[in-house]
Structure 1
Amino acid sequence: MNDFNRFNKVSGIYWLKKGLSDLKIKIKLKPQDGIISLPKFEDYSKGSNALNLENTTEEYTFKWQEKVFSCWEVQRYTDHHNCITETELNYHEQINDIDYKPGKIFTYIHEDYYLPLPLDCKKKKDGILKLDSYMEQLSLNDPIARVFGGETISTTHLFKSEENLDVDQEEWIAMHVVYDSSDYNEDKHLIFKQEVTLLSLYHNISQNYLIITPDVNNLELNPYCVETLSGVLLGYQYAVEVEFNDVESGEELVLLLKKLHKRWERKQKHLLNFYMPPLGKKQYYISLEILTATGFDMDNLYIEFDIKVPEELECKDILQGRTHISEAATVDNIEEWSFGHVIEFSLEMDSGTEATPLKFFMEAISTDWWGRHRTEGYCYLPLPLEPGCFTQELTCRRPEEINSVEAKSRRFFLGGCHLIKDLNVLVEPQTKDANFTYITTGSIKVRWNIISQTHIGNMGTTLVAPVSGGASTASALLRGAEAALHKYKQARARLAAATKQIGDVHGEGDG
């Protein structure tokens, strides 16, 4: 199955009683960075001054094994010479029979063989871990030893060789919902093909259960991000919904699943306590990870880091430190040092200003048995506060004295000396007068994630409410505003009624 490596994209297993003839699959897609579409200049030129507050969420509905073509598929199957198999000829007839409009989100059905089936034994030469072997051996009523085979607790009993596997016992039908992010020219001809699998469904016919990858979710609470296999975000979020409308194929199970899902949503809303930043402030949440290092001469490396924050930003976290000492491991004939050191901190600034990039300095240092610490190289990364996930490999340089003989001797016997007193010399080395030279050494691979958060409210209205624990959620503020508005309407109605009653009494007395 697909490897969804981030955002908790887990799989769900649904047991069925009959087929999936009335299965409905819904994909809700929206832009990642904004929910509200701002008005264009043309809207004001037509005399409309109101903001367009409509939700830009797009909804796509598919049936089980429903074929929806992409733009490049329409171009391919329109030409009869590109159709060889029986399936391709059928697609050619379908497209030519109707005026078909390709979709941004399309489907691959079982006949397309888009991705390998789960536990597909025919296409693998190694041992296979079968889901049915788990189901047969897992019994909650048996002792633990009986679950693992009875004689010994060993995971080797859960694996079977290919010779003992009965391939004919596993029958699967697959369907995939895919996002088309390919590039086309003005004539809609394919320039660069790129697809992102949003949803995969696998139906096991023999055991009659459905595997959904990723599982159903909520677009507001835990949306999935549309990203390529290399981790590049495409600027969209989506949610998955599955409806079992077939009454004859397990109505009780469907109702139970829906109730459990609603209960799970209520529990998530209760646990999720989202705190908005103060009005007029912008907050950044940054997670830096020092991944690996390669190309250095000495072993037993560790990385010292220092993060410089501009004056317009406020930070209360610690921005200096070091990683653990790592020994080299050979990967594809290349020595590599693994760290996986995570640095997390938050920043705050005024929402009306723009911050300059952060300065991220790193120094690779090696140690030996004599206790000497040698500088293996420095690197500098300007870190702009741009939301998203990024990965970069930084080249390191080591300062050395101009006299190479003296520099090598000092480095061998004493471990060298600290020639850089101020790390800012790495930012603009040409502007600093230095009595040393630089030597290119190894490289350090880093990855960082940045989240930006701003509280945009009505600047003409101030809401004052008692806050529990020094903070308040957006839902609590909304409920408080609605309650205050309701009480205001009630008081105004009572005042109008009392004024009318007093006016009636005075009118009778004058007559």
Structure 2
Amino acid sequence: MADLYEPDVGTAYYRSNDPLKNLRFRVTLKRITSTSIVPQAQNKSEDDDVELQSVDQKSSVQSDEEQMVILWQEKVFGQREIDLYSNADNCYNVMDQKYFEDVSKLLEKGRPTNRIFSYVDHDSFSNQDETLNYMTSSAKEKPSNLAKNMAHIRRRRIGGRQAKERELGIIPKTNIVVADPSDERIAKNHIDAPPMQVMYIMADLSPREQPASEESENILCSLHVDAHGVLSIRPDFNRGRKAYIIETGTLGKEVFEYTIEHASKPMNRLEQEKEMKMYREVYTRHKEFLQACVGSEFEMPPPDVLRLLVFGELEMAKDFDSDNIYIQFFIDLPKDWYAESPQQLSWVTQTCQLKTKGQNNIAHFGFPFQVELFYKREIITEENKDVMPHFPIIYVEVLSLDSWQRYRTEGYTYFSLPGKPGTSYETQDCWRPLKDSVVSNLRRFFIGGSPELEFPTYTAIPSTFDGSHLSKFGFRTETTGSVCMRFNTMLQSRMFVQKKSNKKSLGALLDNLGITSQQASVASVIEAFKKARLKMLQARESATRTLLKDDDDNENTKKQ
């Protein structure tokens, strides 16, 4: 609880959708040094003895307390600024002239004696270097080279002269392109600093009887607002915590305490409801605008057609004997599949060297590809009604080519495009044809060249095969390495729109498209079988317990 009562001297961050001009805060400053609470001495008229006055705080002690409510970017002049801008000779620009007029009007009503004042965004104090801050209180600390080079760079402000030029379309008279920029210009024009506004709440802690000086000005609070509407305040609002303590650097070592409270006008219930209604209208209009930009409906495939969109990546190949390998692969479209627009269906990767990781030799390709295919089943007849359709197949051939231009076939494999939407990662082992001859192995090692497949579709079941049995008996192969691919698959059909209304599963929809649920979701069938089997076992156990309980009741009745 003690920590909750202690003041928070760190930086606090706030975000609000309301305009900053409504922000206001209350600052209270009070002197708490011993000179204001110790009784003063006085001389007695009867003799020369010194006697202390009676402690009467209400009458003898002069209270030095001040309270002020300040708006965001409200300029409150301090004593030193009043002395400075009261003289017209100290005014050099338009802002100084404006301050001179404001101070003149202020002095006509009487000179103020306030200690609390403010520096706003366009004051010279706010434009001083804010980056050169020391990390310790040691007098021997020296800034780093980076701090020295960044000290003179000023962050861009929100608004100002540049904003007016952009609004009015002012064209600069000088050439904005510098052929030979200096180091200072490069540093100023190549710093990516977000636009921001600053404000400082200050206090003049100099004695009343002495003229105000810049050394006696102390920062009570600093506020920063960036272009995203985030307000940072240091230190944070007190909100019931202890007051902050500040000590002067003069000989008297005066000590002051101050508090900072949020004093913005709260919104009543009617205003809050009105604001929420306005926000809802704005969001509704923005939603309608986005809907008008997108359109009333997305592009849909023709009726009874399934669109298959695959974004794939050939990630790597591993455990091959030869170095400098590359891969060529293509997509073979089965029956009833077609590509609507002319697109690339075969690819060749770059040559990649093997890198040893652990016990594996890995070649990282990272080769992306994409394909858009369509499926529409033809008229179902008695001859083909039981034919199971297949998804397209990617046939892969791994090759190598070394610096001596020795060309070798390293392996064959194939991938089936996923029939389920989502991301999938597959790894397939490769093999290559093998001749039972020493001459063939010597030729492959010394001059390159190896047996190849005339038709790469022989790796799997060729799409042109119409027989009932495919025999590869006697074909000799040798296991080589493996290839890894990643697939990001999307399926689109008009029937998917009616999924919720008709309560159809994905398997039933694919059945209507000609893709059987046995092929699309075998796992769901197995899962349903497991659930049914579990229910049967539970029913059997329940029936057994009921029969045993009835037998025990009958035996107890006979004994009685």
TM over 0.5: no
Q: TM-score, normalised by structure 2?
A: 0.36
More strand by share: 1
Q: TM-score, normalised by structure 1?
A: 0.39
Larger Rg: 2
